[in-house]
Protein backbone atom coordinates (compact mmCIF):
# COMPACT_ATOMS: atom_id res chain seq x y z
CA UNK A 1 0.00 0.00 0.00
CA UNK A 2 1.12 3.60 0.41
CA UNK A 3 4.48 4.21 2.14
CA UNK A 4 4.29 7.99 2.00
CA UNK A 5 2.30 10.66 0.18
CA UNK A 6 3.95 13.89 -0.91
CA UNK A 7 2.19 16.94 -2.23
CA UNK A 8 1.03 20.47 -1.52
CA UNK A 9 -0.98 20.97 1.65
CA UNK A 10 -4.41 21.99 0.35
CA UNK A 11 -6.42 21.98 3.58
CA UNK A 12 -5.86 21.74 7.31
CA UNK A 13 -8.48 21.06 9.97
CA UNK A 14 -8.29 19.61 13.49
CA UNK A 15 -6.73 16.13 13.12
CA UNK A 16 -7.02 16.30 9.34
CA UNK A 17 -4.84 17.35 6.42
CA UNK A 18 -5.39 17.14 2.67
CA UNK A 19 -2.40 16.74 0.35
CA UNK A 20 -2.85 17.62 -3.33
CA UNK A 21 -0.88 15.17 -5.46
CA UNK A 22 -1.26 15.91 -9.16
CA UNK A 23 -4.81 17.15 -8.78
CA UNK A 24 -5.91 14.37 -6.43
CA UNK A 25 -6.60 15.36 -2.84
CA UNK A 26 -5.65 12.73 -0.26
CA UNK A 27 -7.43 13.15 3.08
CA UNK A 28 -5.28 12.01 5.99
CA UNK A 29 -6.06 11.79 9.69
CA UNK A 30 -3.13 13.36 11.56
CA UNK A 31 -1.93 14.16 15.06
CA UNK A 32 -1.60 17.67 16.45
CA UNK A 33 2.17 17.27 16.35
CA UNK A 34 2.12 16.48 12.62
CA UNK A 35 -0.38 19.25 11.94
CA UNK A 36 1.94 21.76 13.61
CA UNK A 37 4.63 20.95 11.01
CA UNK A 38 2.39 21.70 8.02
CA UNK A 39 1.57 24.92 6.19
CA UNK A 40 -1.20 25.38 3.63
CA UNK A 41 0.32 25.85 0.16
CA UNK A 42 3.66 24.27 1.09
CA UNK A 43 4.78 20.80 0.05
CA UNK A 44 4.96 18.07 2.65
CA UNK A 45 5.68 14.35 2.85
CA UNK A 46 3.64 12.27 5.25
CA UNK A 47 4.30 8.62 6.05
CA UNK A 48 1.07 6.69 5.70
CA UNK A 49 -0.78 3.97 7.54
CA UNK A 50 -3.78 2.57 5.64
CA UNK A 51 -6.82 1.12 7.39
CA UNK A 52 -9.16 -0.74 5.04
CA UNK A 53 -12.50 -2.27 5.97
CA UNK A 54 -15.75 -3.28 4.30
CA UNK A 55 -17.12 0.25 4.35
CA UNK A 56 -14.04 2.39 4.91
CA UNK A 57 -10.64 3.29 3.52
CA UNK A 58 -8.91 5.54 6.04
CA UNK A 59 -5.45 7.04 5.66
CA UNK A 60 -3.36 8.21 8.62
CA UNK A 61 -0.44 10.54 7.95
CA UNK A 62 2.65 11.14 10.08
CA UNK A 63 5.41 13.69 9.76
CA UNK A 64 8.07 11.21 10.94
CA UNK A 65 8.54 7.46 10.66
CA UNK A 66 8.97 7.32 14.45
CA UNK A 67 5.47 8.74 14.92
CA UNK A 68 4.03 6.22 12.44
CA UNK A 69 5.77 3.35 14.21
CA UNK A 70 4.43 4.54 17.57
CA UNK A 71 0.92 4.68 16.10
CA UNK A 72 1.22 1.11 14.80
CA UNK A 73 2.38 -0.10 18.20
CA UNK A 74 -0.47 1.68 19.96
CA UNK A 75 -3.23 0.25 17.76
CA UNK A 76 -1.73 -3.17 18.40
CA UNK A 77 -2.68 -2.80 22.06
CA UNK A 78 -6.02 -4.44 22.87
CA UNK A 79 -8.75 -1.85 23.27
CA UNK A 80 -6.78 0.96 21.60
CA UNK A 81 -8.19 2.07 18.27
CA UNK A 82 -6.89 4.64 15.76
CA UNK A 83 -8.79 7.49 17.44
CA UNK A 84 -7.23 6.82 20.84
CA UNK A 85 -3.79 6.32 19.28
CA UNK A 86 -4.04 9.68 17.50
CA UNK A 87 -5.15 11.32 20.75
CA UNK A 88 -2.16 9.90 22.64
CA UNK A 89 0.29 10.99 19.93
CA UNK A 90 -1.33 14.43 19.84
CA UNK A 91 -0.36 15.01 23.47
CA UNK A 92 2.92 13.04 23.48
CA UNK A 93 5.79 12.94 21.04
CA UNK A 94 7.11 9.46 20.16
CA UNK A 95 10.05 9.83 22.55
CA UNK A 96 7.75 11.11 25.34
CA UNK A 97 5.46 8.12 24.76
CA UNK A 98 8.42 5.75 24.93
CA UNK A 99 9.57 7.27 28.21
CA UNK A 100 6.03 7.10 29.62
CA UNK A 101 5.83 3.41 28.78
CA UNK A 102 9.24 2.56 30.22
CA UNK A 103 8.69 4.58 33.40
CA UNK A 104 5.08 3.45 33.88
CA UNK A 105 3.83 7.03 33.76
CA UNK A 106 0.05 6.62 33.46
CA UNK A 107 -0.58 10.33 33.96
CA UNK A 108 1.27 11.24 30.76
CA UNK A 109 -1.03 8.96 28.78
CA UNK A 110 -4.30 9.96 30.44
CA UNK A 111 -3.67 13.56 29.36
CA UNK A 112 -4.99 12.47 25.95
CA UNK A 113 -8.75 13.07 25.52
CA UNK A 114 -10.75 9.87 25.90
CA UNK A 115 -7.87 7.89 27.36
CA UNK A 116 -8.61 6.70 30.86
CA UNK A 117 -6.47 5.02 33.49
CA UNK A 118 -7.45 1.52 32.36
CA UNK A 119 -6.33 2.11 28.76
CA UNK A 120 -3.15 3.82 29.96
CA UNK A 121 -2.31 0.81 32.13
CA UNK A 122 -2.95 -1.54 29.21
CA UNK A 123 -0.69 0.48 26.91
CA UNK A 124 2.13 0.41 29.44
CA UNK A 125 1.71 -3.30 30.21
CA UNK A 126 1.43 -4.52 26.62
CA UNK A 127 4.07 -2.27 25.06
CA UNK A 128 6.58 -3.08 27.78
CA UNK A 129 5.84 -6.76 27.26
CA UNK A 130 6.11 -6.40 23.49
CA UNK A 131 9.45 -4.65 23.76
CA UNK A 132 10.70 -7.44 25.98
CA UNK A 133 9.66 -10.09 23.46
CA UNK A 134 10.97 -8.26 20.39
CA UNK A 135 14.26 -7.19 21.93
CA UNK A 136 16.25 -9.96 23.63
CA UNK A 137 18.12 -7.38 25.65
CA UNK A 138 20.35 -4.41 25.05
CA UNK A 139 24.03 -5.08 25.31
CA UNK A 140 26.49 -2.52 26.60
CA UNK A 141 28.98 -3.68 24.03
CA UNK A 142 30.08 -2.14 20.75
CA UNK A 143 31.38 1.00 22.36
CA UNK A 144 28.47 1.51 24.73
CA UNK A 145 29.78 1.28 28.24
CA UNK A 146 29.69 3.08 31.53
CA UNK A 147 32.90 5.10 32.01
CA UNK A 148 35.34 4.10 34.73
CA UNK A 149 33.93 5.08 38.08
CA UNK A 150 30.42 5.17 36.67
CA UNK A 151 27.57 4.09 38.91
CA UNK A 152 25.15 1.23 38.57
CA UNK A 153 22.53 3.91 38.04
CA UNK A 154 24.32 4.96 34.86
CA UNK A 155 23.96 1.44 33.48
CA UNK A 156 20.27 1.45 34.37
CA UNK A 157 19.75 4.81 32.69
CA UNK A 158 21.43 3.61 29.50
CA UNK A 159 19.33 0.44 29.54
CA UNK A 160 16.11 2.42 30.10
CA UNK A 161 17.02 4.87 27.34
CA UNK A 162 17.81 1.96 25.00
CA UNK A 163 14.45 0.34 25.80
CA UNK A 164 12.68 3.63 25.10
CA UNK A 165 14.40 3.83 21.71
CA UNK A 166 13.22 0.27 21.10
CA UNK A 167 9.65 1.55 21.40
CA UNK A 168 10.45 3.90 18.54
CA UNK A 169 11.51 1.02 16.34
CA UNK A 170 15.30 1.26 16.52
CA UNK A 171 17.35 -1.92 16.60
CA UNK A 172 20.19 -2.78 18.98
CA UNK A 173 22.89 -1.99 16.39
CA UNK A 174 21.47 1.49 15.77
CA UNK A 175 21.12 2.14 19.50
CA UNK A 176 24.67 0.95 20.18
CA UNK A 177 26.03 3.26 17.49
CA UNK A 178 24.06 6.22 18.85
CA UNK A 179 25.32 5.68 22.40
CA UNK A 180 28.93 5.00 21.43
CA UNK A 181 31.23 7.22 23.49
CA UNK A 182 28.34 8.73 25.48
CA UNK A 183 28.96 9.40 29.16
CA UNK A 184 25.62 8.98 30.97
CA UNK A 185 26.86 10.53 34.22
CA UNK A 186 24.79 13.61 35.06
CA UNK A 187 22.21 12.89 32.34
CA UNK A 188 18.63 11.74 32.83
CA UNK A 189 17.00 9.02 30.72
CA UNK A 190 15.10 11.57 28.63
CA UNK A 191 18.35 13.44 27.96
CA UNK A 192 19.99 10.24 26.72
CA UNK A 193 17.02 9.50 24.45
CA UNK A 194 17.09 12.98 22.92
CA UNK A 195 20.86 12.80 22.47
CA UNK A 196 20.56 9.45 20.67
CA UNK A 197 17.73 10.69 18.45
CA UNK A 198 19.84 13.66 17.33
CA UNK A 199 22.57 11.24 16.26
CA UNK A 200 20.10 8.99 14.48
CA UNK A 201 18.68 11.58 12.11
CA UNK A 202 17.15 9.74 9.19
Q: How far is it, in rounded angstroms, from Cα 52 to Cα 38? A: 25
Question: Whole-structure pTM over 0.95, yes or no?
Answer: no
Q: How far is it, in rounded angstroms, from Cα 130 to Cα 11? A: 37
Average pLDDT over residues 157-185: 80
Stronger pLDDT, 88 or 100, i.e. the higher one: 88
Q: Which region among 22-31, 41-50, 129-138 has the lowest average model confidence (pLDDT)?
A: 129-138
CA torsion 38-44-45-50 (nearest 10°) is 60
What's the confidence (pLDDT) of residue 152?
54
Mean pLDDT of the chain: 84
Q: How far is CA 21 from CA 1, 52, 127, in A?
A: 16, 21, 36
Amino acid sequence: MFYYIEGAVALMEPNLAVLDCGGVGFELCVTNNTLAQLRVGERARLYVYSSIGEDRFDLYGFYTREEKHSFEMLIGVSGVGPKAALAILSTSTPDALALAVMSGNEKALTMAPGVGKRIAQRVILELKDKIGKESPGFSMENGVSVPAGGSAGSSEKLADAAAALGVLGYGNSEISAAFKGVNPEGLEVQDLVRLALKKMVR
